[in-house]
Each structure stands twice: as structure tokens, then as C-alpha cells.
Amino acid sequence: MNRYLFLVLFLVFGFPLFAESKQKSICISLSDCETKANATTIHRKKITYLTFGLTEYSKEVPAEKLIPLYLKRVRSTILEANGDTGYQGEIVLKVSHKPEYKKSQFIKAEEDLRFLESNQNYLSKDQSLELSELQTLFSESK
């Protein structure tokens, strides 16, 4: 009898806890993700918003429209890997990362740089200068 009572209680109260819940999206469109990324100075948050936007909403978007997002993401990725949190408060918050994490971030930055280099014909003059600056920052960071 106790086993049946336990089973019934589990099915009524416990099982719904294990049910798959639908996660709320962190942004609802590519432009929303970019707006949220622009609204924060924290590099990890910027990377999260931009990555989500590029992963979820960029499939039908032409490469030239994605360039500003890749430029922002690669900058934040390199700075974050170098220990710059982006936090702007009364103190400057810097962190040290494990070598494995830093290496994985640099791999991601390198992939973004490759995307930008392969689409150089779509870059404006200012974007080309920014890309050059980011390539220098990347090579000095490794």
C-alpha cells in the first residue's frame, strides 16, 4: 500500500519536476541580441548575446549584415580571454584564466577573424581598420 501511495505521489508531484521546460530565449531577434550586447560593458555577457544571436537568427542574413556582430564578438572574446572583464565600477576587475580556457577563447576568436577575413570585400574602410587592429591585438595576445 505504501508503495502505491509513493508511486501516486511521485507521479502527481515529482514527475512534473523532471518534465522538460521550455527555456526562455535571451533575445528574440538578431537586432535584439545586438542591442542587448551593446547595452552591457561586460565582455562575457556581450559574447553570450552575440553568440546566441548569430547561432539562432543569422541563417538567412547576408554576411555583410553580420560583420558588425562578428567584430564586436571577436573584440570581447580577445579582451575577455586576456582577463579584461569589461566591468566598469569603482574598481577595475581583471581575472586570470586557466590556460585551457584562454586557449579555447582564442580558438573562437580565430574562427571569427577567419570569417571576417573571408568577407573582407564587404567591410567598410572603418571596419577594415578595426579588423586590422583586432588581428594585431590577437597576435599580441597569444
The answer to the question of residue 1 being in a domain is no
Residue 127 falls inside a structural domain: yes
Residue ranges with strand state E in the chain: 84-88, 92-94
Q: Which domain holds residue 89?
A: 26-135
In a domain, 21, yes or no: no
Name the one residue in this structure whose C-alpha cell is 551593446.
38
**CA 28, CA 56: separation in Å to the nearest integer?**
9
Count of the separate structural domains present in the chain: 1
- Compute the distance between CA of residue 136 and CA of residue 129 in angstroms, rounded to an integer: 11
14 — pLDDT class (breaks 50, 70, 90) = low
Q: Does residue 15 lie in a domain region?
A: no
Whether residue 65 is contained in a domain is answered as yes
In a domain, residue 3? The reply is no
Please give the Cα distance from 37 to 76 (Å, whole number). Answer: 10
Residue 31 maps to a domain? yes
Residue 11 lies in a domain: no
pLDDT: which is higher, 56 or 3: 56
Q: How confident is the model at residue 22 (pLDDT cuts 50, 70, 90)?
A: low
Residue 140 CA to residue 121 CA, distance in Å, equals 25
Q: pLDDT of 30-54, one tens digit each?
A: 999 999 999 999 999 999 999 999 9
